[in-house]
Structure 1
Amino acid sequence: MSTKVHSPDELPQKPGIYIMKDINEEIIYVGKSKSLRNRVKSYFQKNLDSPKTKVLMSHFNSLEYIVTNTEKEALILEANLIKKHRPRYNIRLKDDKRYPYVKITDEDFPKIVITRTISKTGTYYGPFTDVTAVRQTVKFLKQLFRIRTCKRMDGPCLNSQIDLCYAPCDGQISKEEYKEHIKKIDLFFQGKYNKIIKDLEIEMKQAAERQEYEKAAVIRDQISSIDEVMKKQFVEFENDLDQDIIAIAYTIHNAVAVVMNIRNGKIMGKDDFTMDGSENTTSDEVISAFIKQYYGINRHIPKEVLLEEDIPDKELIEEWLSDLRGNKVSLKVPQKGNKLRLVRMAGKNAEIIKNQRQKMENSMMELKRYLNLKKLPRVIEGYDISNISGKLAVGSKVSFLDGKPNKKQYKKFKMNTPGPNDFAMMKELLERRLKPLKEHYEKVRINEEHTKHNEAETEKIEPLKLGEEPNLIVIDGGKGQLGMAVDVLKEYNLTHIPIIGLAKEFEEIYIPNSSFPIIIPQDNEALHLLQQVRDESHRFAVTYHRKLRSKKIEESPLDEIEGIGKKRKLELLRHFGDFDSIKKASVEELKGVDGMNEKVALNVYNYFHEGEKEQ
């Protein structure tokens, strides 16, 4: 429970954390100190050195504090509160919930699953940035150690019959033996591959001595599989290292942190993270904040963490990390040799990622300037329609966040508008996409009216999250298509959302209330970003349309006709547009389709007109 104070003099000279709030009672900063009174008093000096502290204090309204027994406890509590409340003026590790974790469930016979949420039960590893790689790894481990995959243990399943599961549901393995396999998976995610192999070699030898040759052969294959995966996956160093290497690089608005993980002398991979709130902050403070938040969740703690420079609270953070690991952890700034080479390698990676992000930021800033936008277009949405002669018409919405595809916000639509009429279909697509936004703002307006009259809110309205509303809409087309789209925005009271039409032939950009298009130079990053959005929306729509078309073709009555295979079905549909037109076609018209001959054309015609002959 926090205690509210009105003056720094009321604070105790004890370790703890202090919580600063603005006039709206929003938490704007969380800090820790071994002496709360002395630390907080420094914020109320007349001549503040830090521009960031000056801005913070201009929004300061009230203060609360929590006393802890030790400074280490204060450090842990500070990291937890920053993660929970994400105060505006703290350096914040950007939320990594989008990355998956591997979870070993808390059951008598545990499962290994991939999840994006962390609960209080189970053991977690991650987060992992490469989703495909982690899926392949989990699949490999399930098969290697024959871990169950069923939701409920209802009896032996197919996996047990094909030797992919030890069938604990049928009593074919004890809890103790099963959990030995789980321990090996735990060692795998800790990077202790040599330990796994040594344990397996002992087990194999013991099984052979007991003349359990089948079991020994299974263990031999497990050793071989792990050895093969390790050879393929990781770059190896001469030394037996268990380290994380951390480096920082800065963009205009935030910092990029890169972490390289080395286990048993092998580079396991590299992750990168964004640190918000790093403006006007020294690099050692950013690294310190990153370490506290990065290791504050369930991660492997290495023996050593290599850094580019020393950081505040080094001894305190070492003590905290040592507690988490269970033995000594060191934070080091190497001066020579392989360790310095690794730090420089991490630094180069951070610079590369920073440059990529800076390029994206520059493209958004250029776009803002060319289109005279009020806000930086961090969220750009693109729309497209795909159909054949109006049949199987689909629409797509793609979303880009900070210059990169944000696939969580992609959406595909089956169009209801009869075709062919791309103009009307685009109108339907925009209406269906924008309707939820209209409804959201209508609820906000009604609640504001109720608040004015001191009435209760009609319902709790959650604010829109980043990515849920576009800062810019891009449609494929010129003045005509743009005019239609503007009418939809007016109808839904969403004219605050900027919209443009990008005409493909000359890459001209049309904006509302202007007769002349904007021309962005061909080599400009702003135009490249718009083209990427336009091309991605087209690709997404076409892919969905092809999927539906393939499905329709697979369900086709043409399968029953002699001489018609998948290729001819596709050519017939492409030529005539739909099955009704194929039914009505003459033999001569059918012969005119690519890949058709007179015999097959006659087969198709007779199939659809057989009833007419009988009459």
Structure 2
Amino acid sequence: MADPSTYRPRTGEVPDSPGVYKFRDEQGRVIYVGKAKSLRNRLNNYFQDLLQLHPRTATMVTTAASVEWTVVATEVEALQLEYSWIKEFDPRFNVKYRDDKSYPSLAVTLHEEFPRLLVMRGPKRKGVRYFGPYAHAWAIRETLDLLLRVFPARTCSAGVFKRAEQVGRPCLLGYIEKCSAPCVGKVSAEEHRAIVEDFCDFMAGSTAKFTRRLERQMQEAAAEMAYERAARLRDDIGALTRAMEKSAVVLPDATDADVIAFAEDELEAAVQVFHVRGGRVRGQRGFVVDKVEEVDTGGLVERFVEQFYLDGGNEVPREVLVPALPEDAELVQEILRLARGARAELRVPQRGDKRALLETVARNAAQALALHKTKRASDLTTRGRALQEVQEALGLDEAPLRIECYDVSHHQGEEIVASMVVFEDGLARKSEYRRFAIRGVAGQSDDVASMHEVITRRFRRYLEARESTGEAGVLVEAGAGEELAEQHGAPAAEVPAGIDPETGRPRKFAYAPQLVVVDGGPPQVAAAQRALDELGIDDVAVCGLAKRLEEVWLPDDDAPVILPRTSEGLYLLQRVRDEAHRFAITYHRQRRSKAVRVSALDGVPGLGEARRKALLRHFGSVKRLREATAEEVATLPGFGPVLAAAVVSALHEPGATPAPLAEGDAAEEGADGSGMLHPQPVRSGLPG
């Protein structure tokens, strides 16, 4: 724990002007980024009696080892620079909003020749128009089913569309007139796109013109005594009406706004966003945040606006309605205006329908916070208790704020790989995950030797990083990293050792953990400890977690440490171990799928990788390939009679092994004799 007085700037050194400041820890990592109208006044607030600071602010200043700042001309520049640095450095003490679940949206793939309507989750893609998000996928499908009567656009996948083109028959939706069937030429690409554009206009809020148009067509059909067509148009009007009823009218038709509300306590906050377009609630989203820094509701609003509209790339509406304005409300509103490219207003509704809707959103936020409290993996208090339990169980001097876990994976000694996952403050830090291809002898599945190798390689890189810049946390010599120092507004002698002066980013393997966890029992733990001893590293604790009984093993201990099954510490170690296991198996499968295996066909002259792919793609399975004749093989492009005969002969020789898999395939002949391709089993390299 550092003493803030040891790195406090001297009197008069900090300028009284707008700027952005960064706190760094002993390893040079940025742990907090902030902006200020006056850097001098803001930084003075951090260097006061620790008892007067918020507990999390006190933790931050005692974790930090240095502070630096950059002066800018205006407050807008300060906000933009702060945003870019938070995005670049991901400081652990800054507020970070996490989506509380993946919300679905109704997507229209306008970039395709025949646009498709579908339910889509995840990040937004270029050329796709989105409506929502919605709380439930079934709500989208119900609405879509109603609207397809009026807007019969394509909803099928690319495979179904292509198959219908080949056979010349539409799918079921085409027969029941819920699809215009562009796959078989019932409508042209231009006509289908016009249908899709009408659908987008309706979803965007232009509903009245379509209702009026259908009513006019219905009356014309009735006047012409085309009663069947009039009845269908009447049903279409009913479908549109029911679809509009699913989005209740809450505000005037011209209202285009996002309504944001918070529910918070001392440790966490939940935020809910209702998207109102054309006076109707088109969707909602929820987020949760750990209040690691001392921040009021206005500060939460400012952070949320930055991350949701700038980092998240969400559409900025004309109005953003919030429960409280941030300290720099005009500055935040200017950022919204720049992001939207037009006028955007940030305000607090005082009365009327907008105020009532804000209260409804606030009730949703309160429910979301109560639900989130039940999820212990994201509970800040529970994570702290888990780290404390691990510290006490393993006899550590301090809580292991950084934990690294290692696992080895292979299949019968082939393609041996290892994974390294990192958890900081009880949460996964995926940007620092690493994976290793073990350099041992192929065909030897010595898990202990593999664990020794990966620990040695990882910490040798750590020592090399320290030697290249001096001890971790010690500042580099004057003259080094001058360009980086100029960028960060600091003298050259104050560029941290953990930062690469060429890229400005943390060096790989530059930081040591407080605890190393290995997936396995005493042999693996002993191998990891031996690797650290050989490198002269004595300040990193080691333990192993065995799968069978979930026992925690320490080096040189004959008996394991048994944590209660209800222990939060054991739950944390299990999550770390399972994440390392998942990451290792994923990498192993990637490498294994690309490996070319030795088989009976390897000796066939002229049969390369591309022709092997063609064989497997054409016949579909090894069994069918064995049953093929030389004449059938010769029909493939690139296969003459001589090569085809050689392939068939090689497959039918006594003791011949299966044909090799094409690159990217991970399959073998089905054990049920069906000839279908099934995934091969992959097991972890550790016995548990």
Q: TM-score, normalised by structure 1?
A: 0.57
Looking at structure 1, the residues matched to 134 and 515 of structure 2 have their Cα atoms a distance apart, in angstroms, of: 28
SS in 2 for 1:383: strand
Looking at structure 2, the residues matched to 207 and 230 of structure 1 have their Cα atoms a distance apart, in angstroms, of: 20
Task: Quote the residue 2:349 is aligned against.
Answer: 332
Residue type of the alignment partner of 2:400: L
* Contact 2:403–2:515 (8 Å) recurs in 1: yes
Deviations along 1:194-227, whole A, 9 cap, x unmatched? 62655666787899999xxxxx9xx999999999
Please state how far the C-alpha of 1:526 moved relative to its aligned partner.
0.8
Task: Quote the residue 2:301 is aligned against.
Answer: 287
Alignment of 1:426-505 (within 5 A): 426-428=448-450, 430=451, 433-434=454-455, 437-438=458-459, 440-441=461-462, 443-445=464-466, 447-448=468-469, 463-464=506-507, 472-490=515-533, 497-504=540-547
Please state how far the C-alpha of 1:479 moved relative to its aligned partner.
2.2
Question: Cα 1:282–1:544, aligned 2, differ >3 Å: closer, same or farther?
Answer: closer
Looking at structure 1, the residues matched to 536 and 210 of structure 2 have their Cα atoms a distance apart, in angstroms, of: 67
Task: Quote the residue 2:642 is aligned against.
Answer: none
* Contact 1:306–1:333 (8 Å) recurs in 2: no
Q: 2:314 aligns with which of 294, 299, 306?
A: 299
Looking at structure 2, the residues matched to 41 and 20 of structure 1 have their Cα atoms a distance apart, in angstroms, of: 11
Question: Cα 1:221–1:328, aligned 2, differ >3 Å: closer, same or farther?
Answer: farther
Please state how far the C-alpha of 1:193 moved relative to its aligned partner.
2.6
Q: 2:385 aligns with which of 353, 359, 362?
A: 362
* Contact 1:126–1:299 (8 Å) recurs in 2: no
The answer to whether structure 1 residue 259 and structure 2 residue 276 are counterparts is no
Please state how far the C-alpha of 1:397 moved relative to its aligned partner.
4.0
SS in 2 for 1:245: strand
Task: Quote the residue 2:35 is aligned against.
Answer: 31
Residue type of the alignment partner of 1:447: S
Residue range with higher mean Cα deviation, 236-245 or 463-472: 463-472
SS in 2 for 1:345: helix
The answer to whether structure 1 residue 510 and structure 2 residue 533 are counterparts is no
Task: Quote the residue 1:376 is aligned against.
Answer: 400
* Contact 1:381–1:398 (8 Å) recurs in 2: yes
Deviations along 1:576-606, whole A, 9 cap, x unmatched? xxx99x99xxxxxxxxxxxx9xxx9xxxxxx
Looking at structure 2, the residues matched to 25 and 537 of structure 1 have their Cα atoms a distance apart, in angstroms, of: 24
* Contact 1:18–1:65 (8 Å) recurs in 2: yes
SS in 2 for 1:502: strand
- Specify every segment of 5 or more residues in structure 2 that has no aligned partner in the other structure, as ranges: 1-11, 222-229, 482-499, 598-619, 628-653, 659-670, 674-688
Q: 1:353 aligns with which of 372, 388, 405?
A: 372
Alignment of 1:192-341 (within 5 A): 193=203, 195=205, 239-240=250-251, 242-249=257-264, 255-263=268-276, 265-266=280-281, 268-274=283-289, 278-297=292-311, 298-302=313-317, 305=320, 307-309=322-324, 311-314=326-329, 317=332, 321=336, 324=340, 326=343, 330-332=347-349, 339-341=358-360
Looking at structure 1, the residues matched to 544 and 155 of structure 2 have their Cα atoms a distance apart, in angstroms, of: 53
SS in 2 for 1:482: helix
- Specify every segment of 5 or more residues in structure 1 that has no aligned partner in the other structure, as ranges: 1-5, 12-16, 34-38, 151-155, 211-215, 562-578, 584-595, 601-615
* Contact 1:19–1:29 (8 Å) recurs in 2: yes
Looking at structure 1, the residues matched to 534 and 282 of structure 2 have their Cα atoms a distance apart, in angstroms, of: 56
SS in 2 for 1:475: strand
Looking at structure 1, the residues matched to 360 and 103 of structure 2 have their Cα atoms a distance apart, in angstroms, of: 30
**Aligned residues with identical type, % of pairs:** 17
Looking at structure 2, the residues matched to 536 and 180 of structure 1 have their Cα atoms a distance apart, in angstroms, of: 46
Please state how far the C-alpha of 1:498 moved relative to its aligned partner.
3.5
Looking at structure 1, the residues matched to 319 and 392 of structure 2 have their Cα atoms a distance apart, in angstroms, of: 46
Looking at structure 2, the residues matched to 122 and 94 of structure 1 have their Cα atoms a distance apart, in angstroms, of: 27
Task: Quote the residue 2:572 is aligned against.
Answer: 529
* Contact 2:153–2:192 (8 Å) recurs in 1: no
Question: Cα 1:491–1:466, aligned 2, differ >3 Å: closer, same or farther?
Answer: closer
Residue type of the alignment partner of 1:360: R
Residue type of the alignment partner of 2:458: L
SS in 1 for 2:273: strand
* Contact 1:501–1:510 (8 Å) recurs in 2: yes
* Contact 1:256–1:354 (8 Å) recurs in 2: no
Deviations along 1:44-75, whole A, 9 cap, x unmatched? 879969735995999556662304xxx7x568
Residue range with higher mean Cα deviation, 317-326 or 374-383: 317-326
Please state how far the C-alpha of 1:543 moved relative to its aligned partner.
9.3
* Contact 1:382–1:398 (8 Å) recurs in 2: yes
Looking at structure 1, the residues matched to 553 and 441 of structure 2 have their Cα atoms a distance apart, in angstroms, of: 25
Question: Cα 1:473–1:525, aligned 2, differ >3 Å: closer, same or farther?
Answer: same
* Contact 2:23–2:67 (8 Å) recurs in 1: yes
Residue type of the alignment partner of 2:72: Y
Residue type of the alignment partner of 1:344: R
Residue type of the alignment partner of 2:542: I
Deviations along 1:80-117, whole A, 9 cap, x unmatched? 45545669699544699x99999999989899999999
Looking at structure 1, the residues matched to 422 and 289 of structure 2 have their Cα atoms a distance apart, in angstroms, of: 17
* Contact 2:31–2:92 (8 Å) recurs in 1: no
Question: Cα 1:132–1:292, aligned 2, differ >3 Å: closer, same or farther?
Answer: same
Q: 2:72 aligns with which of 65, 68, 76?
A: 65
Looking at structure 1, the residues matched to 302 and 362 of structure 2 have their Cα atoms a distance apart, in angstroms, of: 16
Alignment of 1:419-430 (within 5 A): 424-428=446-450, 430=451
* Contact 2:114–2:154 (8 Å) recurs in 1: no
Looking at structure 1, the residues matched to 516 and 152 of structure 2 have their Cα atoms a distance apart, in angstroms, of: 48
Question: Cα 1:172–1:407, aligned 2, differ >3 Å: closer, same or farther?
Answer: farther
- Compare the two structures and name the one with the higher helix fraction: 1
SS in 2 for 1:381: strand
* Contact 1:261–1:268 (8 Å) recurs in 2: yes
SS in 2 for 1:272: strand
Looking at structure 1, the residues matched to 141 and 420 of structure 2 have their Cα atoms a distance apart, in angstroms, of: 27
Deviations along 1:329-353, whole A, 9 cap, x unmatched? 5333789856424302202313443
Question: Cα 1:160–1:316, aligned 2, differ >3 Å: closer, same or farther?
Answer: farther
Looking at structure 2, the residues matched to 431 and 223 of structure 1 have their Cα atoms a distance apart, in angstroms, of: 71
* Greater RCO (CA < 8 Å, at least 6 residues apart): 2
Residue type of the alignment partner of 1:284: G
Residue type of the alignment partner of 1:300: E
Alignment of 1:582-601 (within 5 A): none
Deviations along 1:374-397, whole A, 9 cap, x unmatched? 45345442526576xx47787664
Alignment of 1:81-160 (within 5 A): 81=84, 83=86, 91-93=94-96
* Contact 1:382–1:537 (8 Å) recurs in 2: yes
Task: Quote the residue 1:520 is aligned against.
Answer: 563
Looking at structure 1, the residues matched to 538 and 555 of structure 2 have their Cα atoms a distance apart, in angstroms, of: 10
Looking at structure 2, the residues matched to 127 and 492 of structure 1 have their Cα atoms a distance apart, in angstroms, of: 55
Question: Cα 1:524–1:491, aligned 2, differ >3 Å: closer, same or farther?
Answer: same
Looking at structure 2, the residues matched to 458 and 63 of structure 1 have their Cα atoms a distance apart, in angstroms, of: 17
Residue type of the alignment partner of 1:64: V
Deviations along 1:445-484, whole A, 9 cap, x unmatched? 5633798798999987952579997654433443233212
SS in 2 for 1:247: strand
Residue range with higher mean Cα deviation, 285-294 or 463-472: 463-472
Please state how far the C-alpha of 1:502 moved relative to its aligned partner.
2.4
